[in-house]
Chains A and B, each alone.
With several copies, the nearest count.
Chain A
Amino acid sequence: MADSGAPAAGPEAPAGKKPGFEVRLANFTGPFDLLLGLISKHQLDITEVALSTVTDEFIKYIKRLQNLGEEWALDEASEFLVIAATLLDLKAARLLPAGEVEDEEDIALLEARDLLFARLLQYKAFKHVAGMMGATLELEARRYPRQVALEGHFAALLPELLWRHTPQQFAGLAEAALKPREAAPTEVGLAHLHGTPVSVKEQAELLGHRLRLGAPLTFRALIADAESTLVVVARFLALLELFRDKAVAFEQLLPLGDLTVRWTAGVEGWSSGNLSEEYEEQQ
């Protein structure tokens, strides 16, 4: 028993809590949280962590929980995804040759790495204070406030209620209160979308490249390979920009007919640097 070598819960798992997910790697064995802690304290290099192994183990772990009928598997799984995705991003950034910082791309890469790290730390910080808040709430729940009903003679002092509601009006109130609420109006959350931003500038370059080489093309042809509506919109906006820069001309023979686009600026006559700033800022 002493030499079984496969402890169910690490020594770090606090007593009384469910043992959490444990990672077993060549260079590290212990709770997932501890792994994060070490990475954030720079005591373990993210590049030396085999993330695929971590993920495999986690999937096994979740499956075991599901087999046991544990309900909180989903909670833990989504949390794992957040952290694992961040680690993966972080690792990708770290594995790229760092070298010396020479151009803007390197700086951008460094920034991205910092941001990823910041995101991980921020997440961990909130997790930590959430734990502290939980402990405080539990401690405070051991105090019971005095909130007793008003003694009869005081209740009798209260002014007589003004009641002006007819039963029909009252029923109206009940109808309104009992009606299932639509999901509360909120902004359309975009934060969870990770669609690649489409750049009008890039699309303009692409269109320029196609048009200046040869014959006029229809708009239909120009968007034939667009993978999303967003790209169609970006190409359309790019054409308007090009038109304003007098780099293209439009022809439309019939109302609602095909729009033909012709390059007019010559081979070297236009570059995407001409594009107005407004699109660059918004992407």
Chain B
Amino acid sequence: MNHTRNGDAAGHPAPEAQAAAENDDGPDVGSLPGGARAALEAVLMVIDQPATATELASGLNLTVGVVEGMLVELQREYNGYTVNAPDVDDASFNGFSATPRGFELRNIAGGWRIYSRTEFADIVGGFVLEGQTARLTQAALETLAVIAYRQPVSRARVSAIRGVNVDSVVRTLTQRGLIEDSGTDPESGAILYRTTSYFLERMGIGSVAELPQLSPHLPGLEGIEEFYDAGRM
């Protein structure tokens, strides 16, 4: 982004070599196996929120143009190199490169993210539904209760209060729309969670202020910190 912009608009020629030549202060993505393209894939595979080409470029220490070129290239590759719609009926199996992958790279509102391919929605949907219950587990309920009364609160803090790891439960609650991300803690940088309006709806109340009062003797977050964090390593 803040580097030289030579040649990035003219197609996408060998981004790896370019990257290796240009950067000396950031990570040298070109020297890694698979090069800059694989580095970009690595990032795309694990990010939860769509990332813009600019964000990706700055993380990879490459120019935006180069990254945009690679993104389009990857998108086409995942689609099986067919230019427009994949040739679905044929499903000819002459090497993997011509076959669409099960995932696709989509550019939505300027952000890029990998999704499972739309054609498999029925299969994926069936898999997702398998074993799902309409009821929250006790662990999920207790975690929700702690978040409701101590929001905004980080996962680490909820873990400290409950004495167990709550990562997967928090994911479930988020997925269920009961809690949401409410920014990051300025000190620790941890994501803070709060309850949603859907939660209020399910509880049948107008705001969290209407939740019944708890005993005043329960430790607040400050107290909890002393109680449970003392032993943290």
Contacts and interface: CB of A to CB of B under 8 A. Distances in A.
B34 to A, nearest CB: 15
B156 A190 contact: yes
Contacts of A82: 162-164
Given A157-B125, A175-B218, A178-B161, A119 B46 contact: no
Interface stretch (B18-26, B70-78, B84-92, B141-149): B141-149
Interface in B195-218: 201-205, 210-215, 217-218
Contacts of A129: 145, 149, 211-212, 214, 217
Report the contact-size class of chain B (Cβ under 8 Å from the partner). 35 or more
A149 B173 CA distance: 11
B204 to A, nearest CB: 4
A45 interface: no
Interface stretch (B6-14, B56-64, B93-101, B126-134): B126-134
Contact of B103 (A131, A146, A161): A146
Interface stretch (A58-66, A132-140, A214-222, A265-273): A132-140
B159 A189 contact: yes
Nearest to B227: A180
Contacts of A161: 134-136, 176, 178, 202
B10 to A, nearest CB: 33
B139 interface: yes
Contacts of A167: 203-205, 210-212
A134 B159 CA distance: 20
A139 B118 contact: yes
Contacts of A130: 138, 141-142, 144-145
Contacts of B175: 149-150, 155, 158
Nearest to B210: A167
B190 interface: yes
Contacts of A119: 228
A123 B141 contact: no
A75 B189 contact: no
Nearest to A111: B227
Contact of B189 (A126, A139, A151, A187): A187
Given A118-B228, A148-B48, A186-B190, A175 B114 contact: no
Contact of B156 (A151, A181, A183, A186): A186
B165 interface: yes
Interface string A138-181: 11111111111111011101111111010110110111111111
